[in-house]
Homo-oligomer: A and B are copies of this chain.
């Protein structure tokens, strides 16, 4: 790669919007988790699709890596420039470009954050449901196939992206999908770019499906004696077809972390946090049926939150779980695991993980989007304690192995990046090589976020 020539040409295109300042490079070299600092060679702040295309053309000519950046909240090192190159920060492409009230869709720039989008939508009666907790960008969420608390009802980014504008590895601009609700017109390129972690192209516009704001919403938190009862309550709720909008699990350690971080006063035992969206009678009916299932499983201290401010407090507490867990052990670092298993195996998966944490003497509060069979252990460790680091890695490794044995996946929503790369052969077998061939067909020079997701290349 000829980085100096590339930087010179990029400066001509972007002027001040190509940043080489150390602080900016460092800011775009960090991650929220355990990866080391990896400053890129430059940070570009494009404002238009055309500029993105120019950036990619220049980087292609000089074989310089190009890595998209939304808000940098991804957890597997996806947005880090491990082999140098240019970070393309989309924060200036942050406009909501179109809201289709009648069609319940919208088109946005990749830098729009989920919270900003929902602020703009508030007055329309519509909302965008995918909710990873972090105030991530729509471009980043699309690229990691993000989901979160509401996927059980509204699906993940896979289900909510209708179409894309993408700059390919040679600078060509393409459009995928249409504004129709469905299509059988050829390969599903939209689905291919969703979850591709910027390895196939840079996304410059996203058309999203929106939902009508529900007539009535109610949320609740309730406590259980043990993990098993809580998880079995979830399974029954799903099987009875009660359409929860959210159903989240937190274990006793997470409840304790909430209490000290957020000042809540939860009993220190496993909890479910749920929300229902429907008509007034629908919400009532659903809440009642759920209440009966909870009672069957010995659930108690049921607290309803029908007022908006109470619900906001509840979900803010949940969204800050990562930070609450971190705060429970000052100075520690975290490794956030993310497995997803068939619902029928969820209780086993959580219980065996809990037992393993105890056996290895690792602190790892467990919480998750259990309606999807997806949960995380936030493994806390002292990075200078080699033995603890080794124990943490063993626990994380066995979680992944367990997920695969149970017919599940090594990542429900956080993605591969570099953190989960070693597990791709175990999950995909021969299909991983096919992903490599696909990547090579789209990006023959291997400049789009190289080293992530697909088999490493030797050039």
Which residues of A are in contact with B by a Cβ distance under 8 Å?
Answer: 100, 102-105, 144-147, 151, 156, 158-159, 168, 172-176, 178-189, 191-192, 194-196, 200, 212, 214-215, 235, 238-241, 279, 281-282, 285, 338, 340-344, 372-374, 403, 407-416, 420, 423-424, 427-432, 434-435, 437-438, 440-442, 453-454
Contact = CB atoms under 8 A, between A and B. Distances in A.
Contacts of A282: 282, 285
Contact of A285 (B172, B173, B239, B281): B281
Q: How many copies does the complex hold?
A: 2
A185 B282 CA distance: 36
A227 B248 CA distance: 45
B440 A182 contact: no
A276 to B, nearest CB: 13
B416 A185 contact: yes
Contacts of A430: 172-174
A195 to B, nearest CB: 6
Contacts of A159: 159
Contacts of A434: 168, 174, 189, 442
Given A182-B372, A408-B180, A102 B235 contact: yes
Contacts of A188: 145, 158, 188, 191-192, 194-195
A102 B281 contact: no
A143 to B, nearest CB: 10
B438 A180 contact: no
Given A105-B342, A191-B191, 14 more contacts: A156-B182, A159-B159, A173-B430, A174-B429, A180-B341, A180-B374, A180-B412, A183-B411, A184-B415, A185-B409, A186-B432, A186-B435, A188-B192, A282-B282
28 contacts: A102-B239, A102-B342, A145-B183, A146-B184, A147-B182, A151-B182, A173-B430, A174-B428, A174-B430, A174-B434, A176-B428, A178-B340, A178-B409, A179-B407, A180-B372, A180-B412, A181-B372, A183-B412, A186-B195, A186-B424, A186-B432, A186-B453, A186-B454, A188-B191, A189-B434, A191-B192, A282-B282, A282-B285
A144 B340 contact: no
Contacts of A186: 195, 416, 424, 427-428, 432, 435, 453-454
With most chain B CB atoms within 10 A of its CB, the pick from A212, A285, A342 is A342
Contacts of A340: 178, 180-183
Nearest to A156: B182
B182 A374 contact: yes
A179 B281 contact: no
The 3 A-B pairs with the shortest beta carbon distances in the complex, nearest first, are A191-B191, A441-B441, A102-B344
A185 B411 contact: yes
With most chain B CB atoms within 10 A of its CB, the pick from A183, A408, A410 is A183
Contacts of A427: 178, 185-186
A283 B414 CA distance: 38
B100 A185 contact: no
A438 to B, nearest CB: 6
A175 B343 CA distance: 20
Nearest to A194: B188
A436 to B, nearest CB: 10
